[in-house]
Structure 1
Amino acid sequence: MELINYKVENRIAFITLSRAEKRNALNEEMVQQLKQAFYKAEKDKDVKIIVLEAEGDVFSAGADLAYLQQLQQNSAAENLADSHQLRELFAAIYFSQKITIAKVQGHAIAGGCGLITVCDFVFAAPEAQFGYTEVKIGFVPAIVALFLIRKIGEGKARDLLLSGRLITASEAKEFGLINYLVTKHQLAEEVRLFAEKLSNETSANSIAYTKDLIQKVQQMKSEEALVYAAETNAHIRSTEDFKKGVNSFLTKTKLKW
């Protein structure tokens, strides 16, 4: 059964959670299909932007109840293998060389909130709620914690991860979890326009290098990070995209990437 829909329009890959009758809850099959969809978009040379969206009124309610019950029957090795599947999915999104945008029309809870955490940009409807509720069922938001701390800082991450509370879209914006609040009926159009603008106005090569820089320098000591930044700065000057971009700037000609 296809739990994920995939389509490409105007260099934008739309990856859609398609399990609305189950509130787009995550199970093993859905995680696998979602991961494969991101791998596909990453390899597609005709794709510059990836939009993650969902059908129905809920973005994702987190783990499927039947899935959670099954985990209790798994061996330690099976649970470790399953955990690595989720790790690989989050990594595929976070470390993508392409810009990732989450379009959130409804609640994003637990694993569903994890999915948006690892995206570059998040657009959300005002009525959506967000939360990492794992501690309320005796679970640990282990994998997403790494990315959330990077995104919003330790203090705010502690608030959300330790309380398991739900927050409004407005509060999520204040926390830095989401970027833009857009009414539900305008959400699709606003995301499309934003994605097309980024696609047309930014170099895919520069985006890939910039995302790589953001990820790597956080793990380095200051001097090491500065050396790496200088090396990146020097290397990018020899690329074709840099030459095209500078020429466009100097000649005042509009460049569509």
Structure 2
Amino acid sequence: MESLVLYSVQDRIATITLNRPDKRNALNPQLISDLTEAFIQSAEDDLVKVIVLKANGDAFSAGADLEYLQQLQHNSFEENVADTNRLKKLFTTIYYLPKIVIAQVEGHAIAGGCGLATICDIIFATPESNFGYTEVKIGFVPALVSCFLMQKVNETVAKEILLTGKTFDAAQALKYNLINFVTNSADIDQKVTEFALSLCRESSGNSLMVTKQLITQTINPTLERSLETAAQINALVRDSNDFKKGIASFLNKEKINW
């Protein structure tokens, strides 16, 4: 069986690739665990200075895996807390990683997939890419990622995109200040590599690490407390009737009447 996450290093750039193209790189516990391990490996790899996160296939990540969603319907509160903490570990590993993480988003980055991109330090996207935190449409809540999103966009934008669950293209994501660059699909590999190489060649590795630490540790000193609250909310919402109704309707491809 082919690995769900691929890891390679060239020119001091580690490339971590989501490798579930047949499932639109949807997140499940194994993929989340493998991603976390890959980022920890990159942090400990002396040959690596910058990390690029990308995906094989047509989508960056379409959110949660269908089988995973089915399982959530039967989880206990304790199992949901443990499951939420796995995702929290992935997000905080990327956020606090002592190396710069660049997301290369091609195709859809939806729900958890959008959250995964949001955590990264620098985000490139193609014009065709679509973003969205669509959790409210299925009775869920983007609890963990909201703690990070508020550091990138203002409260007005955060409320608009989290409460409506709407999807939006890369140009709009750029206006929201969610991403950094919009690059044509034919050029994105080259542009991301050039950007990563410029960091490797023109910036001190220690200075990059300390500057990232400075930003992450001062911009939101209460982040850990916020994430703990978000994890509890996440688990509680999974036990709600709206969540169960939303997931059942989604899995059965039925229109949800809220």
TM-score by length of 2: 0.84
Match of 2:247 in 1: none
Aligned to 2:145: 144
Letter in 1 for 2:44: K
Partner of 1:113: 114
Quick one: which amino acid aligns to residue 92 of structure 1? Answer: T
Q: Distance in 1 between matches of 2:221 and 2:115?
A: 25
Query: Counterpart of 1:97?
Result: 98
Q: Which one has more relative contact order, counting CA pairs under 8 Å at least 6 apart? A: 2
In 1, distance between residues paired with 2:31 and 2:5? 7
| SS of corresponding position for 1:183 | coil
Q: Distance in 2 between matches of 1:216 and 1:120?
A: 14
The aligned counterpart of 2:159 is: 158
Over 3 Å counting, the alpha-carbon distance change for 1:194 and 1:219 in structure 2 is closer
- SS where residue 185 of structure 1 aligns? coil
By how many angstroms is 1:216 displaced?
Answer: 1.9
Distance 1:135 1:219 in 2: 25
- Cα separation, 2, equivalents of 1:28 and 1:213: 31
How many residues are matched?
Answer: 221
1:85 is paired with a residue whose SS is: helix
Report the Cα distance in structure 1 between the residues aligned to 2:62 and 2:221, rounded to whole angstroms. Answer: 36
- Displacement of 1:54 in angstroms is 0.2
The ranges of structure 1 where at least 4 consecutive aligned residues each deviate by more than 3 angstroms after the TM superposition are none
Q: Report the Cα distance in structure 2 between the residues aligned to 1:173 and 1:217, rounded to whole angstroms.
A: 24
Q: What secondary structure is seen at the aligned counterpart in 1 of 2:152? A: helix
2:175 maps to a residue whose letter is E
Distance in 1 (alpha carbons) for counterparts of 2:194 and 2:173: 23
Mapping of residues 1-257 of structure 1, within 5 Å: 1=1, 2-219=3-220
CA distance in 2, matches of 1:48, 1:88: 21
User: Residue 220 and residue 88 in structure 1: after superposition, are their counterparts in 2 closer, same or farther (change >3 A)?
Assistant: closer
Query: Does the residue aligned with 2:209 lie in a helix, a strand or coil?
Result: helix
1:218, distance to aligned residue in structure 2 (A): 2.5
Structure (1 or 2) with the larger CA radius of gyration: 1
Cα deviation, residue 97, structure 1 = 1.2
5+ long unaligned stretches in structure 2: 223-258
RMSD of aligned Cα (Å): 1.2
Displacement, 1:220? 5.7
Letter in 2 for 1:23: R
How far residue 155 of structure 1 moved from its aligned partner, in angstroms, is 1.6
Output the CA distance in 1 between the equivalents of 2:158 and 2:31. Answer: 26
Structure 2 distance, partners of 1:220, 1:44, is 28
Contact 2:8–2:16 (CA<8 Å) still a contact in 1? yes
Q: Whole-Å Cα distance in 2 between the matches of residues 197 and 220 of structure 1?
A: 30
Work out the CA distance in 2 between the residues paired with 1:88 and 1:62: 17
1:89 alignment partner AA:
L
